[in-house]
Structure 1
Amino acid sequence: MSGRALSFGAVAEAYERFRPGYPVELFDSVMAYAGHPVRTALEIGAGTGKATRLFAQQGIMVTATEPDGSMLAELRKHVPANVRPVQAPFEDLRPGERYGLVYAAAALHWTNPEGRWPRIAALLEPGGVFASCGGPLRLADPAVAEAVRAARAPFLESDEIPSPDGTPPDREMQWPGSELQRSEWFTEVQQSVIERPVTMSARDYVGHLSTISAYLVLPASEREQVFGQIMKVLPDTVEMAADITVHLARRCHED
C-alpha cells in the first residue's frame, strides 16, 4: 500500500469534519440496480464511515473494513449497531462469508490492482453487486479554480489522483468501469453520475484540502505555506461541484 494510501490516519477527525457525506440517491441507485433486497454488505476502505452510515441506516448489516486504526476509531463514534468494524487492508481479507454487496466509496484506487477483481468476486454471492463511487470536489467557479491552481503550483502540480488504469478523462466509461468491463468475473457494468453541489466556507475548503493525500505527503512546512497561499485567493464562501460517479457491476453466476 502506498504512502498516500496510508496518510489519512493523522487527520481522521478532519476527514470526518470536512469530507461531505453521501446522499440517499446513492443507496437508491445501488438498490435499484440490485433489483432485490440486500441484507449484508462488505465495505472496502471505510474511512470514518461516511458511506457506512448511508447503507447501515437503511438496515443493511455492514462489515466495514479499514486498514488505519485512527480512521476506524473515528468510524466507531458515528455508526449504528449493525456495523461490524474490521481493521484490515482489503488485500488481507480471506474468502469465507459472502455478501450481497461489496462496495468502496472513494477508496478503491488505494487497493492493489493485482488480483483485485477475483478477490472481490470471491467475497460476493453469485449475482451479488459490486459498487464503487467517488469523484473529486472541484471548485465550481473557473476563476477561483485558476487562482487556487496558481497558488498551489509552486508546491504541487495537481492534487487529483490520475486514472489508475490510464483511461483518458474524455473516455465515456471511466475507471473502474473500464477494468470491470474487461473482467471475467463481472457483467452488466453501469456508470452513472449523482450531482452533489456543496457550499463551504473558505476555511472549511482548506480543511477539506488538509484531508487530501497529495497535501498530506508534503513536508509540514510546505503544507502550511500552500494552505496559506490558497486562503489568500479564496472568496469567503466557496461553491463546489462534488458530483459522485457511481460504477455498478454484477458478479457472474458460477458454472
Structure 2
Amino acid sequence: MTADDQVDMTRSQVFGEVAEMYDIVRPGYADALVTEVLAYAALDGQAALEIGAGTGKATLSFAAHGVPLVCIEPDPRMAEVLRRNTAHCRGVRVQSGRFEDWRSDGRRFGLLLAATSWHWVDGERRWDLAHDALAPGGTLALFWNPHGIRDPEVQTVLAEVDRRHGLVGTPHRAPASAYGERPGHWAGAPGWPEEECRRDGRFTDLRAVRFREHRHYATDRYLALLASTSAYRVLSPDRRERVLAETGRVLDARGGGIDMDHFSDLLLARRPA
C-alpha cells in the first residue's frame, strides 16, 4: 500500500465519527437516477451488491423498489446506522468490512452499485472485483452527487476562506456554472471513471447520465453538511471550528443561507453475458 493509499483510506474512514449527522444532513440521490439504473439493469428478481453503503442514502431508494441488497460498509459506526435505517427492509443484508476483503462465496449479482464510494476502492483492484462480483449480463452503476454554489460571488468569497485555512476538495472550488452539462464534468475535480472503465475493456454498453436540482441550505444546515465531508473531518477540531465559523459569518452576512445546484452523475456499464 502506498502513502497515497493510506491517506485515502484514512479519509474514507472519518465519516463514522459523525455517522448520525452524516445521515441527517447528507443529500440523497435523484429518484430519476434510481429509475434509470433499474430500467437499464432489468434485474427480474436478481439481487444487488452495494459497496460503501454508508448510512443508506442510496440503499433505501433501491430497497423501496423491492431490490434485494447485500450492503458492504467498512466503518462499523456507519454500518450500525445503516442497519437501523434498513431494519424494516426485509431484503437488505448489511455486512461490515471493505469490498477488497469481502468474499462472495461464489454468489454473483445482477447489479453492483457504488454511491459516492467508488473512488475509495483500491484503484488497482476495483475493476477486477466488480467484474468478479457481477453475473454475466450484470450491471455496474457508479454515481456521485457533487454540488456547486449558484452565486459566483459567494463562491469566490468562500474559496478564499478555504485558501486561508489550507482546505482543498470542498464544494467551494468553483461555481455551479463551471460544472458544465456533461456527466462527470466536475469543475476540474478528478474521479469520473468512464475512461478508466473503457480502458479496462471488460464492460460494454457504457451510458452516462446527469440529473440536476436546486437546493437551498440555511447556514446551520450547510455548516453541518460541510462538517460531514472528508475535507473537514481530517482537520483538527479547533481548526475545523475556526473555518466553519468563518464560513458561517460569510453566509449570515448574505441572508443566512446558500443556494446550491446538486448533480447526480451516473455511469452505467454491463458485464457481457
Given the two structures, how large is their TM-score scaled by the length of structure 2? 0.85
Tell me how many residue pairs correspond in the alignment.
248
Aligned ranges 1:84-163 → 2 under 5 Å: 84-95=93-104, 96-160=106-170
The letter for the 2-side match of 1:65 is I
The CA deviation string for residues 100-122 of structure 1, in whole angstroms up to 9 with x for no partner, is: 00000001100101121111111
CA distance in structure 2 between the partners assigned to 1:71 and 1:200 by the alignment? 24
Structure 2's unaligned 5+ residue stretches are: 1-5, 174-183
Map 1:15-30; keep pairs closer than 5 Å.
Answer: 15-30=22-37
Structure 1, 239-248 or 138-147: larger mean CA deviation: 138-147
Percent identity of equivalent pairs: 35
* Residue in structure 2 matched with residue 196 of structure 1 by the alignment: 213
How far the C-alpha of 1:168 sits from its partner, in A, is: 8.3
Question: Which protein is richer in helix relative to its size?
Answer: 2
Q: What residue is the counterpart of 1:44 in the other structure?
A: 51
Deviations 1:180-204 (A, max 9, x none): 1111321111111011322221110
Matched, 1:65 2:65: no
Instruction: Give 1:74's match in structure 2, choosing from 81, 105, 110.
Output: 81
Cα deviation for residue 159 of structure 1 reads: 2.4
Q: Determine if contact 1:200/1:237 at 8 Å carries over to the other structure.
A: yes
The answer to whether the 8 Å contact 1:41/1:62 transfers is yes
- CA change 1:98–1:23 in 2 (3 A) is same
Q: Could you list the runs of 5+ residues in structure 1 that have no partner in the other structure?
A: none
1:231 has 2:231 as partner = no
> Contact conserved, 2:29 with 2:145, CA < 8 A, in 1?
no
Contact 2:149 2:258 in 1 (8 A): yes
- RMSD over aligned Cα atoms: 2.1
**TM-score, normalised by the number of residues in structure 1:** 0.91
CA contact under 8 A between 2:194 and 2:267: conserved in structure 1?
yes
CA distance in 2 between counterparts of 1:63 and 1:35 reads 18
Matching of residues 143-222 of structure 1 within 5 Å: 143-160=153-170, 175-222=192-239
Distance 1:177 1:228 in 2: 38
Code of the aligned partner of 2:211: I
Structure 1 residue 55 corresponds to structure 2 residue 72: no
Q: SS at 1:242's partner residue?
A: strand
